[in-house]
Amino acid sequence: MNTRLKNGIALSLILQVLLVKWFGRYPELIETYYSNGLYRYISNFFRWLYGSINFSIGDLIYAALILIALRYLYIHWKDIGQKPFSFIRDIAVVLSIVYFSFHILWGFNYYRLPVYKTMELNETYTTEELLDLTEQLVQKTNEVHHQISLNDTIQLGTPYTQREIFAKTTAGYHQLKSQFAFLTYENSSIKKSMLSTILSYMGYGGYLNPFTQEAQVNKKIPNFRFPVVTGHEIAHQLGYAAENEANFMGYLATVNNEDPYFRYTALAYALSYCLSEVRNLDENQFKELYAKVNRGIQKDYEELNRFWLSYKNPMEPVFKSLFNTFLKVNNQPQGIQSYSLVVSLLVAYHKENPL
């Protein structure tokens, strides 16, 4: 690549950033022509291309890129000190290409219309509405747990292999097509991440590779949480970039699944978010509600908590801070806290669709 071309690509990064922010001011256009237009063809193509391959192509690409970067630094170490401008320009070239590819292949979904608008849901809720839904979720989760276990103290989890969970989650999305056409899911491409140990130390249950459209799920997380995490990553594949919206779509696909274990994990998932929100408002109210939760459900929560504690490390806050910044840069001003914003969607949805 000649110097003039490198300079042009590097400088184009500035123009790209300005154009993305400009396009981001028109979410209706992005919703119509990108998220429900161009992106659907892109995503379907890549899911068709890589979906039948059992291992993660995206993880291999990331690993290869890390090795290439390390090799570059090793070979050009002396040149970096002698020609710092060239090094900075080369970094800008890479960033420019990555930035362009990211937004064309997936990233513009961060600027689409919010789900509460497309589904005509209320964006806000009162404390009374939150407490009412949490009470309903406690009752319903206890009920489903007891129907399966016949014993309130038994820990359920999910008695399926991870491959079976992938298949059942895909079936759950298929079941939603008649009710929510925008959740039509074809050409399944869900993988157990080869980087699961790293993801665990970073504190992540999974991720979508935006360049290969593979839904990557952390294979180490307890099966109790595996179905909703899988549903969350599929929602990202369908173009729901915002974390609260992916949480919500994953919940819908799991709670509407015909399998009772899936319904249980989804209800327990929603309950955990609502309980957490109640705890932020009133610790005593939280304790009162949590005391009503079946002991078997509490055991599932405790196993999940032990899992994350076992991978806790000094670098995790750094990883979370970087991801927090990434989300804020990509039109999610609440950053990593946006996951918990699913509560407003849950409250609004269940006002119209009682449990």
DSSP 254-270: HHTSSSHHHHHHHHHHH
Q: Give 90-101 pLDDT, tens digit per residue.
A: 889 999 999 999
One domain, residues 228 and 209: yes
One domain, residues 123 and 87: no
Given pLDDT bands bounded at 50, 70 and 90, which one contains residue 222? very high
Q: Is the pLDDT of residue 83 over 70?
A: yes
One domain, residues 39 and 51: yes
Given pLDDT bands bounded at 50, 70 and 90, which one contains residue 78? confident
Q: Give 157-201 pLDDT, tens digit per residue.
A: 889 999 999 999 999 999 888 888 888 899 999 999 998 999 999
pTM score over 0.85:
yes
> What are the residues whose beta carbons fall under 8 Å from the beta carbon of 297, sequence distance 6 or more?
141, 142, 145, 156, 268, 271
- Reading phi first (left if > 0) and then psi (alpha if -120 to 50, else beta), residue 137 is in alpha
One domain, residues 214 and 319: yes
β-pair partners for 214:
209
One domain, residues 82 and 135: no
Q: Which residue has the higher pLDDT, 209 or 124?
A: 209
What is the distance between the alpha carbons of residues 155 and 293, in angstroms, rounded to a whole number?
12
Parent domain of 236: 115-352
Number of domains in the chain: 2
β-pair partners for 319:
none
Last residue of a domain, one of 111, 139, 172: 111
Contact 191, 216 (CB under 8 A): yes
Give mean pLDDT, residues 221-248. Answer: 95
Q: Both tokens of residue 115?
A: 């789900």
What is the distance between the alpha carbons of residues 58 and 285, in angstroms, rounded to a whole number?
44
One domain, residues 235 and 250: yes
Q: Give 305-331 pLDDT, tens digit per residue.
A: 999 999 999 988 888 888 778 778 887
One domain, residues 205 and 162: yes
Q: Is the pLDDT of residue 1 over 70?
A: no
Last residue of a domain, one of 58, 76, 111: 111
Q: Both tokens of residue 110?
A: 């961060």
One domain, residues 101 and 135: no
Is the dihedral angle over the CA atoms 262, 266, 271, 276 positive or is it negative?
A: positive
